[in-house]
Amino acid sequence: MTKKKLTTTGGAPISNNQNSITAGKRGPVLIQDYQLMEKLAHQNRERIPERVVHAKGWGAFGTFTVTDDITKYTCAKIFSEVGKQTPMLARFSTVAGEKGAADAERDVRGFALKFYTEEGNWDMVGNNTPVFFIRDGYKFPDFIHTQKRHPKTNLRSNTAKWDFWSKTPESLHQVTILHSDRGIPSTPMHMNGYGSHTYSFWNKKGERYWVKLHFKTQQGHAFMTNEESKKAIGESRETYQEALYGAIEKGNFPKWSFYVQIMPEKEAEKTQYNPFDLTKVWPHGDYPLIKVGEFELNKIPDNYFVYIENAAFSPSNVVPGIGFSPDKMLQARIFSYADAHRYRLGTHYEMLPPNRPLSGANHYHKDGQMRFFNNFEENPDAYYEPNSFNGPEEDKELAEPPLRIDGDADRYGNEDDDDFTQAGNLFRLFNNEQKQRLFQNIAEEMAGVPEKIIQKQLELFDAADPEYGKGVRKALGM
């Protein structure tokens, strides 16, 4: 391979990359040394805004394979035949920690998948938990503030966390998962992923189904206790990156099985619980898991920044056959995630290498940051729509079935919702050792929290299961 010549960003060969230009051997430096300025200016711009949430992440490319036929539920091309394979990108993350945070902290994990389908990108932007702390995006900024740093101390605050949770009973289900064993998975390969929200499928006959998405680890669940996580973080802050990178580079490709739960459209009016409430699961007994396929991660991107830091996942990216649902939290994220990427990466972020649809993107959005691609080269006159110059047109065949909506517009609370049964069901599923670790994990995280906030939270544990409240009291030495 012939060695390339070092050049300026303008492509001109560089004759000396070791010394700046000085007046005489002892300096000073001349301002005309533009390459010195250029190097320093580039260094100043090496960072882009980190994600406000999910800043610390680990990712890889992979392949999704259909193993079972679900075409009666959805016409999405990705599922069109058994054996079909679709390239994909996965990014896992913690939620609250900044970009330099340690990997093995107790936190929910992001579980984001981008499928490069033949009809555009489908982004499945989920978590390693089937539920979330809140059911309404209106509360999201407040909730995240409690997970981040206090404005004066610049420290994270147990008081803020428990104050918010104790005043938000809907959080109890997720609080229970977070402080259970699954709150610190050993590696990203040893955890499940869930779409968490309710989405929708529609088929060729125009029938809609509500759907929950489950991705079960084939590596098995593995977790760290608080002590193990402290030790791991003491030795390395990058345990997840090391594990994922190490496994894939060695050819140990991690795999997940993909299942769905399916609810016919009309049934949503009859379920005891609101099936669009992100703080609830659909019990498996009511809606059993249906196998769809599996994916494996098999390639580490050649450049982390290009392919993982620039990866922009958004629930707004759906494809024909897959749609949204009335889930309030999902609807807030549809706006919020894409908007975060416009801010963080720039207007045309969808054309960056990890985000660019392999099937092509033909739209009439015009200029702005990163407009480095042409419109339609064969017909440059087609730069608005409708036009008479053979520009891209809509395809009415792909219309989603209409969604029936009734009810008066208002800011509805969910005061009559049951926030306790499912949290209690989860608690009752734990064996004695798991319960003891749950009590201990909660007690440790309540250090320094004012008594009246602890009392309010204990009432919530009692409401889920009296044994739950009793166990936490004991761990607190009450």
> Where does this chain touch ligand NDP (CB under 6 A) — which range of 247-255, 380-388, 400-408, 422-430?
422-430
Catalytic residues: 54, 127
Nearest distance, CB of residue 399 and ligand NDP, angstroms: 31
Q: Which residues contact 390 (CB under 8 A, 6 or more apart)?
A: 378, 379, 382
Asked if 283 touches ligand NDP (CB under 6 A), the answer is yes
SS3 255: strand
Query: Cα–Cα distance between 135 and 157 in angstroms, integer?
Result: 23
Q: How many CB atoms lie within 10 A of CB 291?
A: 16
Asked if 443 touches ligand NDP (CB under 6 A), the answer is no
Q: Which is nearer to ligand NDP, 258 or 307 (CB)?
A: 258
Q: Which is nearer to ligand NDP, 136 or 181 (CB)?
A: 181
**Radius of gyration of the chain, Cα coordinates, nearest whole angstrom:** 25
Q: Which is nearer to ligand NDP, 85 or 434 (CB)?
A: 434
Query: Cα–Cα distance between 267 and 205 in angstroms, integer?
Result: 18
Give backbone dihedrals phi and psi of 353, rounded to 5 degrees, phi first.
Answer: -50, -45
Nearest distance, CB of residue 283 and ligand NDP, angstroms: 3
Q: How many CB atoms lie within 10 A of CB 268?
A: 17
Q: Which is nearer to ligand NDP, 376 or 430 (CB)?
A: 430
Nearest distance, CB of residue 184 and ligand NDP, angstroms: 12
Asked if 425 touches ligand NDP (CB under 6 A), the answer is yes
Q: Which residues contact 8 (CB under 8 A, 6 or more apart)?
A: 14, 35, 38
Whole-angstrom CA distances from 340 to 312, 314, 345, 349, 447 are 9, 9, 8, 11, 34
From 105, 107, 136, 181, residue interacting with ligand NDP (rule: CB under 6 A) = 181
From 127, 168, 171, 180, residue interacting with ligand NDP (rule: CB under 6 A) = 180
Q: Which is nearer to ligand NDP, 94 or 198 (CB)?
A: 198
Nearest distance, CB of residue 137 and ligand NDP, angstroms: 22
Asked if 366 touches ligand NDP (CB under 6 A), the answer is no
Asked if 197 touches ligand NDP (CB under 6 A), the answer is no
Nearest distance, CB of residue 217 and ligand NDP, angstroms: 9
Q: Which is nearer to ligand NDP, 259 or 324 (CB)?
A: 259
Residue written as tokens 């769809």?
Answer: 292
DSSP letter string, 315-375: TT---TTEE--S-HHHHHHHHHHHHHHHHHH-TTGGGSTTTS-TT--------STT--S-S
Query: Cα–Cα distance between 223 and 189 in angstroms, integer?
Result: 11
CA-nearest of 33, 363, 89 to 248 is: 89
> Where does this chain touch ligand NDP (CB under 6 A) — which range of 49-57, 149-157, 314-322, 426-434?
426-434
From 93, 192, 229, 314, residue interacting with ligand NDP (rule: CB under 6 A) = 192
Contact by Cβ (8 Å): 110, 57: yes
Contact by Cβ (8 Å): 139, 221: no
SS3 423: helix
370's tokens: 């990163």
> Where does this chain touch ligand NDP (CB under 6 A) — which range of 84-92, 135-143, 230-238, 429-437?
429-437
> Where does this chain touch ligand NDP (CB under 6 A) — which range of 174-182, 306-314, 451-459, 466-474?
174-182
> Where does this chain touch ligand NDP (CB under 6 A) — which range of 176-184, 300-308, 340-348, 468-476?
176-184
> Where does this chain touch ligand NDP (CB under 6 A) — which range of 14-22, 140-148, 279-287, 399-407?
279-287
Query: Cα–Cα distance between 103 and 400 in angstroms, integer?
Result: 40
Asked if 422 touches ligand NDP (CB under 6 A), the answer is yes
Query: Cα–Cα distance between 344 and 54 in angstroms, integer?
Result: 13
Asked if 200 touches ligand NDP (CB under 6 A), the answer is no
Nearest distance, CB of residue 287 and ligand NDP, angstroms: 8
Binding mask 123-162 for ligand NDP (x = CB under 6 A): -------x--------------------------------
Contact by Cβ (8 Å): 76, 201: yes
Contact by Cβ (8 Å): 347, 101: no
Asked if 284 touches ligand NDP (CB under 6 A), the answer is yes
Nearest distance, CB of residue 40 and ligand NDP, angstroms: 50
Q: Length of the chain in residues, anyone?
A: 478
Q: Which is nearer to ligand NDP, 130 or 354 (CB)?
A: 130
Q: Which is nearer to ligand NDP, 126 or 323 (CB)?
A: 126
Asked if 426 touches ligand NDP (CB under 6 A), the answer is yes
**Contact residues for ligand NDP, defined by CB under 6 A:** 130, 177, 180-182, 192, 214, 216, 281-285, 422, 425-426, 429-430, 434
